[in-house]
Structures are given as C-alpha cells and as structure tokens.
Amino acid sequence: MRYFYFLCLFILGCSTTQVLNLSSLEVHKEAIIAHQKQLNHHYKDSLKSPLKEKDRLTFISLDYFDINPQFRVIASFKRKKSKIFKMKTSGTRTPEYRKYGVLSFELKGKKFKLTLYQNMKLIQKKGFEDYLFLPFTDASNGNGSYGGGRYIDFRVPNSNQVILDFNKAYNPYCAYNSKYSCPIPPLENDIEIAIEAGVKIEDH
C-alpha cells in the first residue's frame, strides 16, 4: 500500500529554505500560486496522483480557499521529543511516530499550540532525515475543508522560530481515494477557529 507521505515527498522536494521575515503580500501571493501549480501538476501525473483514474482524467485543479496572508504567521518552536507511539489512521495501519516539538503562535487574537510529529520510517529515507509532519483539525472541517483534517509539511527548524503558513495546508490522500490509509490528526492538534486557507473539500 502506498502511504500518505508520497505527497509529502513531492511537496518537500519542491520546497525552498524558509526566511523568518514575512514577505510582502505580492511576493507571498506569487509563492502560493506557484505552490498550487506544483500541487496540481502532481495530481495530474498518472504515476503519482492519488486520484481515481476516472477523476484524474477530468482533473484540472484542486479547489483552494482564497490566498489569505492572515493565515501566515511566525510561530515559536520548542523541541519536545516523546517516546515512539503508533498513530491511528483511517485504515488498519498504525505507523510509528514520536512528538518532536511544539509550535506556539497567535491567530485572530487567540493563542494556539500545535505539535509537530516525526515519522520513524520516513526519516530513514535519504533526504528526509529532518522531515516533520503537522496534522491538524479546525472549525472549517466538513464546512469548506475536508472533514478528516489536513496536513502541513515541515523540516526540523534550525532556530526557535518558523513560518507557519496555512495557505499550504493540503488534504490527506484518503480524501480522494479510499485505498489510502492516512494518519488521523491527534486531538491535541485541534484549532477552535476556522482555518479558511489551503486546499478545500473535494467532491470526488
């Protein structure tokens, strides 16, 4: 069975080094548009797409929320490793993860914390030794965004701050095809406000 992180391999392969200065609105918009184009290209690719064949043949673009710079923030990072545990998924698979650190940030006047996880199998692959995984749920799930939550990819930070951009949030593969087994965001990563940014719900 192919795992959810196939999409992560694509996104991280196209990523660039983060700079801890929030860029101008125009620069940010251009960067997200480029990111979306790369993501759409991935979904059109017959060798990589998670879409069912009938859906891939008619695919033009994923559905995105409008690009919103309010959902791009600087978050403080604190390393906080835990013991290895088995994360629940949408199937019977229980991949091994560990908590790696916590992001603290403010959004719309409220303070939040999200945990970053490390996939113990993926970090053994060359080029992904520093890969981190951020699964989350929010108040938009089932009402604009995928009901099962969404993901954002990270690399291990080299400082105590990172840019957290929800405009890069994407759906798990199981949102498009039931043959995939996808990690279920832990309850500690629930955000009580609606994150109306990133990839929206799909009707496939």
pLDDT over 60 (residue 12): no
% of the chain beyond a pLDDT of 90? 86
Higher pLDDT, 15 or 103: 103
pLDDT over 50 (residue 50): yes
Q: Please give the average per-residue pLDDT across 50-74, as a whole number.
A: 96
User: Positive or negative, the Cα torsion across 25, 15, 45, 128?
Assistant: negative
Q: Is 47 exposed, middle or buried (0-12, 13-18, 19+ CB in 10 A)?
A: exposed
pLDDT of residue 8: 52
Higher pLDDT, 9 or 102: 102
Per the CB < 8 A criterion, the answer to whether 8 and 50 are in contact is no
% of the chain beyond a pLDDT of 70? 88
pLDDT of residue 9: 44
Tens-place pLDDT, residues 17-44? 344 567 788 999 999 999 999 999 999 9
| Three-state DSSP class for residue 22 | coil
Tens-place pLDDT, residues 169-204? 999 999 999 999 999 999 999 999 999 999 998 654
Q: Which of 146, 69, 151 lies closest to 115, judged by CA?
A: 151
pLDDT of residue 40: 97
pLDDT of residue 69: 95
